[in-house]
Amino acid sequence: MLQHDNARPHVARICTQFLEAENILVLAWPAYSPDMSPIKHVWDALDRCIQQHLRALDVHPTNLHQLQDAILSIWANISKECFQHLVGSMPRRIKAVLKVKGGQSQY
């Protein structure tokens, strides 16, 4: 028996099919999980930077090594202020989630 938060990755077809194939019973549970982790926003920022970087290139990476080099370079150049802003936003995020008693918030 499994209980999870019904977040989208957990209810993706491939996950659901695997659980069914393994005869794992999933408890009915409402989706309810405020995502408080600021890392999600770091990944979003990284994705936007990668997309901008690729659009600016005349020649796109042609192999995995070139793509890895581009991503590592972009990662290394995400500003310290970006990370500070995300960490600094945590009190505001926590306050918003507490205000709705753990329910749906903009975070």
SS3 for 26?
Answer: strand
Q: Are 36 and 94 in contact (CB under 8 A)?
A: yes
Q: What is the reported pLDDT for 35? A: 66
Q: Which has the higher per-residue pLDDT, 70 or 107? A: 70
**For the residues 22-26, what does the mean pLDDT come to?**
89
Instruction: Note the pLDDT tens digit of each residue in 4-13.
Output: 766 666 677 8
Q: Are 46 and 38 in contact (CB under 8 A)?
A: no
* Pairwise CA distance, residues 7 & 34, whole Å: 10
What mean pLDDT is reported for the chain? Answer: 82
Q: 1: which DSSP letter? A: -
Q: Write the DSSP string, 59-103.
A: S---SHHHHHHHHHHHHHTS-HHHHHHHHHTHHHHHHHHHHTTTS
Q: Check pLDDT > 80 for residue 78.
A: yes
Report the pLDDT value the prediction gives residue 3, as an integer from 0 to 100.
64
- How many angstroms separate the CA atoms of 75 and 49, rounded? 9
